[in-house]
Amino acid sequence: MPRILSESQVTQFHELGYVAGIPVLSEGEASQALAMLRAWEKSSGKTVKEVMRGKAHLLLKCLSDLIHHPRIVAALQDVLGPNVLCLESGFFWKNARDSSYVSWHQDNTYLQLQPPAALAAWLALTDSKPDNGALKVIPGTQKQGDLAYDLIPGENNMLKFSRQVRDIDTKKAVHIELEPGQLSMHANHVVHGSEANGSDRPRIGWSCIFAAPHARTTARGAMGATLVAGEDTHGYYELEPIPRFDFDPIAVAAYERSMSGPLAIYKPK
């Protein structure tokens, strides 16, 4: 029996490569989380959009708490099994009328996990709909393994080193529509992307890559992980500490080590 998903949601994840509408936070909790992030922006003079892209759960305590949220962990275990590591976390933050977009890609292109027993969990802090640039997936493409891609840079592309999948049928794409506080999950190989936000509302999502411990990254360089459920049965990653407070030096040191490896592309200048 799955812990939080229905059997049909688990089947959908495996067949189509995504599942959506999983309730995690109440609308009030989602706006409270957003208020904390905006307060951090105000006090630091920085933006979450720029700074919180790679391993953000090692920087802010509220984000560390979120990757351990019992409802997120239960949904992850329903798909990945009892043991779960968090490899990466960061925001895809689109302000109102924001021309940022995300080109069609597969997440596995970046971390190159073998076997690809991993997924991205995407938590909506605002609503996410077609008019404000919701995430889109091309169902079933996770079954095609690694697809050929081209390096196509774009000024407003939120993927700094865009690896855009070649020859895909975008007519088959579906929008993942979410209310604030809801979660979606997409498979590591499913092709996905999103368009600019043409609306007057922001569209803010927190996307985290989680993996089973036997999924090893073949990308070069140091890579740590945070254990969020069960045990690390394989020891492939340096286990990260849990920050006790924002910018806890022990967690920042782990952040720096990991951001020198395959995640270096996300390191803020």
List of residues contacting ligand AKG (CB under 6 A)? 92, 102, 107, 120, 122, 135, 192, 194, 205, 207
In the bound state with ligand AKG, the residue whose beta carbon lies nearer, of 48 and 248, is 48
CB of 227 to ligand AKG, least distance (A): 21
> Please, which residues bridge with residue 197 across strands?
98
The 10 Å Cβ neighbour count of residue 97 is 13
In the bound state with ligand AKG, the residue whose beta carbon lies nearer, of 127 and 248, is 127
In the bound state with ligand AKG, the residue whose beta carbon lies nearer, of 152 and 250, is 152
In the bound state with ligand AKG, the residue whose beta carbon lies nearer, of 121 and 248, is 121
In the bound state with ligand AKG, the residue whose beta carbon lies nearer, of 25 and 124, is 124
* 85, containing H or E segment: strand 84-94
CB of 192 to ligand AKG, least distance (A): 6
* 8 A C-beta contact, residue 196 and residue 156: yes
CB of 233 to ligand AKG, least distance (A): 25
**What is the spatial distance between Cα 146 and Cα 112, in angstroms, rounded to a whole number?**
9
φ/ψ region of 55 (left if φ > 0, alpha if ψ in -120 to 50, else beta) reads left
Q: Which structure tokens are listed for 117? A: 């027993």
φ/ψ region of 109 (left if φ > 0, alpha if ψ in -120 to 50, else beta) reads alpha
Q: How many residues does the chain have?
A: 269
CB of 60 to ligand AKG, least distance (A): 18
In the bound state with ligand AKG, the residue whose beta carbon lies nearer, of 122 and 255, is 122
Q: Which residue has the tokens 């190989």?
A: 189
In the bound state with ligand AKG, the residue whose beta carbon lies nearer, of 164 and 207, is 207
CB of 58 to ligand AKG, least distance (A): 18
CB of 184 to ligand AKG, least distance (A): 9
At residue 165, the 3 state secondary structure works out as strand
CB of 249 to ligand AKG, least distance (A): 29
